[in-house]
Amino acid sequence: MIPQQPHHLTHLDKTYVWHPFTSNDDWLDPAFTPLFIERGEGALLFDTAGNAYLDGNSSIWTNLHGHNHPGLNRALIEQAQKIAHSSYLGLAHAPGALLAEKLSALLPGEPGQHYRVVYSDDGSTAIEAALKIAYQHFQQNGQAQRTHFLSLSGGYHGDTIGAMSVGHSGSFHERYQPLLFPTIEVMSPACYRCSFNQAKPAQIDARTSRVCDSQCITQLENAFREHGPQLVAFVMEPLVQGAAGMVMHRPGYLKRARELCEEQGCLLILDEVLTGLGRTGPMLACHAEDVRPHLVALAKGLTGGYLPLGATLVAEPIFQGFSGAFEKTFFHGHSFSGHQLGCAVALENLAIFERDHVLERIAQLSGKLRELAQVFWKHPHVGDVRQQGLLLAIELVQDRTTASPFSNGTRLASKIFAAAIKRGLIGRGLANTLFLVPPYCTSDEQLERMIEALNNSLHEILPS
Ligand SMILES: *Cc1c(COP(=O)(O)O)cnc(C)c1O
């Protein structure tokens, strides 16, 4: 076989492939040559020419313990040597059953309470399942007037029609608005750009310096008061709204949201597709406020970044409401529901957390990240540096004292990360906010190099 040369691959890619979330004009620009990633090792990615790059976005927020991980590789190979996939319609398998018990145990709660797991393919499908289950639950249990979903401004829950409907992300969803079902939007409890926050912008996390009357909570209470009896569920990303720009919530909001759902008799659906599996510090973000949701969506890190697998965890009493008549069945699923390879790798992923004391390492590494990230405040166009666990966002503004934004078209993040590639860092941001999302296996020294590459790229593109 003649080895494929990268320029030939570039030609094939630019002729036949359509990449996700990618502008045609950027990708097809003759001056642009994409990197072809050939292999990985821990926090490093290698291209076809053998150059190494630090994976500063954990391969779009999916990778946890590193690439080419011996334990995950072993779990994958051992499972593949048995069977890759068998139908989950009317059949069962060990990896699916073992994983479901482990996932249920991740949630806070009293003994005797547990969750059922609906397996799917990714984050979007995990959310779709949650929405349909919540809706059907009320339809067939005497509360058919509950038909509306409440969700947060800026929220992002995936790209399928239902997931987009509960999302409120202008640039991603606007075009499809006529196709989406109507949902009720409530302001996001994020402090930096909050119009109610009276604090002068200072070089400190806006959540800790905020001066306000907690209007975000009042508005949530008002929305519940106004729409309560019609609500199926409140859908939210707990603590951090990723695709909204890594906006981070004031403490206490999640807890209050749970109480309001209880008072109004609707469900709380948490989208932990990004925040789950240690990303914000605890195993799940809902632990931060000791909140037990009715439904939770997991995906991204569920297989440690190895395979597409989604899981919707459903509190047992909701599952019970689908019993007693054939028509109450949840008629929903996918060809690859309960994929055996995915379940086997996810089991090993969870085992690694215990075996390698990963949550302790996350705590250490996020402490280190907090120290290192202070360097960004030295740049006059840095308006906010915010962090939750191993999620870091650096928001660039025209004027720090007024927090006046650069226009979205400035696209500083893509320019800065293009410069970072030359310094051996791969990352991604959104508009004018830079994200750093390191894998948990990142060494202190690798983290220092990530920050240095990002900071130097920032100064190159936006001289201070
Ligand atoms: C990525 C993401 C999704 C969508 O997951 P996919 O696997 O891309 O379908 C949903 N919710 C959140 C919070 C996400 O970050």
Q: Which ligand 1 atom lies nearest to the CA of residue 272?
A: 13
Phi-psi region of 239 (alpha: psi -120 to 50; beta: other; left: phi over 0): left
Which of 273, 274, 277, 296 gets mutated to test ligand 1 (max ligand atoms within 8 A of its CB)?
A: 273
pLDDT of residue 44: 98
pLDDT of residue 109: 81
pLDDT of residue 65: 98
pLDDT of residue 4: 60
Give yes or no for residue 202 having a pLDDT over 90: no
- Confirm or reject: Cβ of 295 under 6 Å from ligand 1: no
Mean pLDDT calculated for residue range 257-270: 98
Give yes or no for residue 290 having a pLDDT over 50: yes
- Confirm or reject: Cβ of 66 under 6 Å from ligand 1: no
Per-residue confidence at 383, pLDDT binned at 50, 70, 90?
Answer: very high
pLDDT of residue 173: 86
pLDDT of residue 1: 46
Ligand 1 centroid – CA 151 distance (Å) = 15
- Confirm or reject: Cβ of 42 under 6 Å from ligand 1: no
Neighbours of 322 (CB within 10 A): 17
Q: Which ligand 1 atom lies nearest to the CA of residue 242?
A: 15
Ligand 1 centroid – CA 273 distance (Å) = 6
- Confirm or reject: Cβ of 431 under 6 Å from ligand 1: no
- Confirm or reject: Cβ of 348 under 6 Å from ligand 1: no
Q: Which ligand 1 atom lies nearest to the CA of residue 127?
A: 10
- Confirm or reject: Cβ of 274 under 6 Å from ligand 1: yes
Mean pLDDT calculated for residue range 337-364: 98
Ligand 1 centroid – CA 127 distance (Å) = 9
Per-residue confidence at 201, pLDDT binned at 50, 70, 90?
Answer: confident
- Confirm or reject: Cβ of 237 under 6 Å from ligand 1: yes
pLDDT of residue 30: 94
**Residue nearest atom 10 of ligand 1, based on CA coordinates:** 157
Ligand 1 centroid – CA 200 distance (Å) = 34
Ligand 1 centroid – CA 313 distance (Å) = 16
Ligand 1 centroid – CA 168 distance (Å) = 14
- Confirm or reject: Cβ of 156 under 6 Å from ligand 1: yes
User: Rounded mean pLDDT of the chain?
Assistant: 96
Ligand 1 centroid – CA 184 distance (Å) = 20
Q: Give tens-digit pLDDT for 84-122.
A: 999 999 999 999 999 999 999 999 887 788 999 999 999
Ligand 1 centroid – CA 300 distance (Å) = 7
Ligand 1 centroid – CA 164 distance (Å) = 11
Per-residue confidence at 214, pLDDT binned at 50, 70, 90?
Answer: very high
Mean pLDDT calculated for residue range 366-394: 97
- Confirm or reject: Cβ of 276 under 6 Å from ligand 1: no
Least reliable range by pLDDT among 171-180, 288-297, 348-357: 171-180
Ligand 1 centroid – CA 159 distance (Å) = 8
Ligand 1 centroid – CA 279 distance (Å) = 14
pLDDT of residue 3: 54
Which of 57, 58, 62, 124 gets mutated to test ligand 1 (max ligand atoms within 8 A of its CB)?
A: 124
Q: Give tens-digit pLDDT for 145-172.
A: 999 999 999 999 999 999 999 999 888 8
pLDDT of residue 170: 80
